[in-house]
Chains A and B, each alone.
Chain A
Amino acid sequence: EMHLLESGGGLVQPGGSLGLSCAASGFTFSSFAMSWVRQAPGKGLEWVSTISGSGGNTYSADSVKGRFAISRDNSKNTLYLQMNSLRAEDTAVYYCAKEDDQSDAFDIWGQGTMVTVSS
């Protein structure tokens, strides 16, 4: 069974940094693009960043460009999101998601990890 498990969320002060991880199992991790999607409390879904299967290509939303960095370690079946210069508006549940290579939809999601940016 395909499974994603996020970790690393927590409370951080504005301007601070935090790193998230997403451990994958049940599929050939290196064959699929992976993404981070976030959801602020009581709000809708917002795409954050995507990385290709090889890790050679990355894409990010304008709202996080230059502050967040997505990466992956295919030897460890793990996806990462390094978040710097955090702002209050980055407060959200962060989900990792696997991209289906035929439809570009997100077919497998983790349970999410909460990031709170507050002083």
Chain B
Amino acid sequence: TQLLEQSPQFLSIQEGENLTVYCNSSSVFSSLQWYRQEPGEGPVLLVTVVTGGEVKKLKRLTFQFGDARKDSSLHITAAQTGDTGLYLCAGTNSGGSNYKLTFGKGTLLTVNP
């Protein structure tokens, strides 16, 4: 069974600070997706990375996929209160079950004003 470990589990910071959260596995994934989930809502897709070493930017968010496609990081610059939420990473395998997402448990980010 493939597992995705996310760290830290909880993170509380002040508005304006920078932060990085991590998603690690001992397994290789063909793609990795990051989602943000707010209380009472479904996960909202932020980005998909598919190539080892790939870096994608979404405004103040920077996503990186590890060279070996086993890990990923999300860096937020100058965090805002609106960034508060549960950040989830999810991986897919190559082959016949590439539709199946394996999720980590998430990092719960709180950005304080």
Q: Do A and B bind each other?
A: no
